[in-house]
Homo-oligomer: A and B are copies of this chain.
Amino acid sequence: MVEKIASEWIAALQARGYRMSASLQVVVEVVATSPRVLSPIQAFDLARKKNTKIGLVTVYRTLEKLEEIGLIQRVHQPSGCQGFIAANAGHQHILICENCGLVEYFSGDRLDNLMHDVARESGYRISGHWLQLFGLCTQCQYEIQSSGH
């Protein structure tokens, strides 16, 4: 299932005309299968465990391609904006664990009314929105509680 996602991403890249290589495959696997937000360097470190030859630049270029196709999205956090996570189509909003980066997706349908109201009141023509929630996943709640905080 998880491997299936990676192979679908590879197919999408090939359909876009990109050539296949071991390096690209490894980066795609790492990013496609991560349930957590990954920075370029984190993706690089994970990829290096599978392919020692890989360069950081290749990670950047692969992320660029994946974002261009819409398979990943950049994640902005108070701690920084280098993160990426799979862009789960149809679930454009995410909930991020501030401790471990684990991501949950949720629907933002209930925002439509709000956006409509704001557009009318402000006169702006609204073209997009970001909604992100931050918190602690169940696992991290437990661990942090257990360690005495």
Is A54 located at the chain interface by the 8 A CB criterion? Answer: no
Q: Taking the nearest CB of chain B, how far is it from the CB of A66, in angstroms?
A: 16
Say which residue of B113, B124, B132 sits within 8 Å of A136 (CB atoms). B124
Closest to A123 in B: B138
Is A97 located at the chain interface by the 8 A CB criterion? Answer: yes
Is A126 located at the chain interface by the 8 A CB criterion? Answer: yes
Task: Decide: A113 and B110 in contact? CB cutoff 8 A.
Answer: yes
Task: Decide: A135 and B131 in contact? CB cutoff 8 A.
Answer: no
Q: How far is the CA of A63 from the CA of B111 in the complex (A)?
A: 32
Subset of 9 A-B contacts with CB under 8 Å: A104-B124, A106-B121, A115-B133, A122-B137, A124-B136, A126-B133, A127-B134, A129-B134, A130-B132
